[in-house]
Structure 1
């Protein structure tokens, strides 16, 4: 791929999968459009990646997706990379960085509903694993949503796998707002 025109900074691979899957569902090819979605390997790497790709580096347009609990890290990372506007009250959204209410999984579970999420898990052949997790003493009394969230994070690669599967299961008009906003921006 040639140098992109826009880089979307995301925390991890599951965010990348979700954005690409949603774009494909909308008939878009992000790479062909010059958009690269870059997993940073953790939100604490925002400054380094924004410096590399942003105004102090390659001078590319940036956008991003982040979890609500990480907002201060994103603001300060972007500001340290020369995007001081990130510190303004609406600065992140104005720069194209959009917040998930809790995290990507929360957005997808709310958009689909817990019954549909469990149907996706069943179709993927892992409902038995989810049921076994629910029977463990540590999870007694947990809600179905809490169990599903734990399930998604309990095995390497599972978050990314289900990011794609859950996005594929969405009704066309039910895309989570933060994902839709990032794609509208780029």
Structure 2
């Protein structure tokens, strides 16, 4: 396990509290010297997408000292900024969030002294990118519905998707909405398709702007 990955895991344990928190805090502090940037993301699917895109560009973020840290939900951003940001380890920061969760990121970035009255442009300037509306929506628009269905087929999930489409609540909805709901039906599927869809992107023309800008930043 690389130092960046060990740092990520120690950081998550530290923030979670409990009997292992003190030991995890010591570990995170010891490893922080090898971390160039901490990228704070909402969940494991975001982390998977970023690492997959980096690998397609021939980059190993962990080896570069970039730790991509899943928060376990946007509402936890404040706790992670307390330990990673100016009040704590003082690391260089970047991040990715959904449009609906932007307010949490903005509020806590301001609280730890990284700006005031932050606009969307200010957030980008700080290295924090916002998906419209979320990562799945960005990837569906980048690949198109037919492209996403092709990836679903490659994953052997055409039948589950067709069954999902036939549910009464889904039958009359646009296929893009059906795809977004299907990809987010459980956490394991979200992470699986974050990798698979990013792996299928056209790097020359089809990378969602938030992902592209985040990777450029780090």
2:83 is the alignment partner of 1:52:
yes
Unpaired segments of 5 or more residues in structure 2? 4-30
Correspondence list, 1:72-151, <5 A:
72-83=103-114, 85=115, 87-89=117-119, 90-151=121-182
- Counterpart of 2:97 in 1: which secondary structure? strand
Give the structure with higher Rg (CA). Answer: 2
Q: CA deviation at 1:136?
A: 1.1
Distance change in 2, residues 1:111/1:152 (3 Å): same
2:59 is the alignment partner of 1:28:
yes
1:25-64 superposed Cα distances (whole Å, 9 cap, x missing partner): 0000001110000000111111111111111110100000
Higher mean C-alpha deviation, range 20-29 or range 172-181: 172-181
Count of residues in correspondence between the two structures: 185
Distance in 1, Cα, partners of 2:80 & 2:187: 24
Higher mean C-alpha deviation, range 73-82 or range 113-122: 73-82
Distance in 2, Cα, partners of 1:128 & 1:34: 41
Aligned to 1:178: 210
Distance change in 2, residues 1:112/1:43 (3 Å): same
Unpaired segments of 5 or more residues in structure 1? none
Aligned to 2:49: 18
TM-score (norm 1): 0.96
Q: CA deviation at 1:86?
A: 5.5
Return the match for 1:61 from 89, 92, 108. Answer: 92
Aligned to 1:5: 36
Distance in 2, Cα, partners of 1:167 & 1:161: 10
- Structure 1 moving runs of 4+ over 6 Å: none
Distance in 2, Cα, partners of 1:56 & 1:87: 20
- Counterpart of 2:187 in 1: which secondary structure? coil
Q: Tell me if the contact between 2:36 and 2:66 (Cα under 8 Å) persists in the aligned partners.
A: yes
Aligned to 2:187: 156
Higher relative contact order (CA 8 A, sep 6+): 1
TM-score (norm 2): 0.82
Q: Tell me if the contact between 1:86 and 1:95 (Cα under 8 Å) persists in the aligned partners.
A: no
